[in-house]
Structure 1
Amino acid sequence: MKFVISLVCGILSHFCTYFFCTCVAQGDKKKEHTSSDLDQFLKVSYQSVLKASEGFSLANLIGKGSFGSVYKGVIENSETTIAIKVLNLLHPAASKSLFVECEALKNIRHRNLVKVLSACSGYDHRSDDFKVLIYVFMVNVGA
């Protein structure tokens, strides 16, 4: 009887060990194949945003509101047209608006929403705080 019990316990422990090792190995494979969210975004600087919007020229201005302005531009070394939302950080609620917008876009997926390509936060040429969101540009065909 002791032999049968020890044999059954040994077999069960081998199955448990095999199952555990298999689950851990598959979890590691999934982590290797998924890229982080940061790798999907473009790496942009103030200078590249300035160049893409041609110095934030009025000719590229496509919208203006209390929290900032939106400019059309082209990414350097690419044919991709982008929309650059520059926040007016002099407005006290602009930073909060940015965080709310990012949180909403992070959690919502819909075919009619434009894709966020990147964000940039830093300082401009006058050492003022500078924050932008960069979207895929979509022509407004409904208006």
Structure 2
Amino acid sequence: MDFEWLIASFGASAVLQFGLPKSPLAQPRNVIGGHTISALCGIIVRLIIQPQYGDGKANFVSTALGMSAALAAMQATGTTHPPAGATGLLAASADPIPDWQGFKFLLTALAGSSVMVLVALVFNNAIPGRRYPTFW
């Protein structure tokens, strides 16, 4: 079983967590919740939209709706994390629908963002004068 731990939007998350650790958008709840919720929204949108078209035209619609749904869900749950918007877009754009109906991507978002938070906890708290997180 291939299990990728990397999503392109994790790079922007790292900038927030390691460069701006006091930012509300860099806190663990936002990072883990934002990526996970966005991945789920993107997957659900893709599963609804792609079967309707099936010829590649679905990407135009599903990517826009996937990212939009991700943003709305993050705002509703108080987990807004800007890089996670790209996670929703990526999840919604897979064509054709990948293994596990794309839910492997959800596990990647959850596991990868959790590991990144753990590394940020160790790194940021090892530097004198830094404290991460400022809230959960």
TM-score normalised by the chain length of structure 2: 0.24
**Higher normalized contact order (CA 8 Å, seq sep 6+, divided by chain length):** 2
Q: Which has the higher Rg, Structure 1 or Structure 2?
A: 1
Normalized per residue, the structure richer in helix is 2
TM-score normalised by the chain length of structure 1: 0.23
Normalized per residue, the structure richer in strand is 1
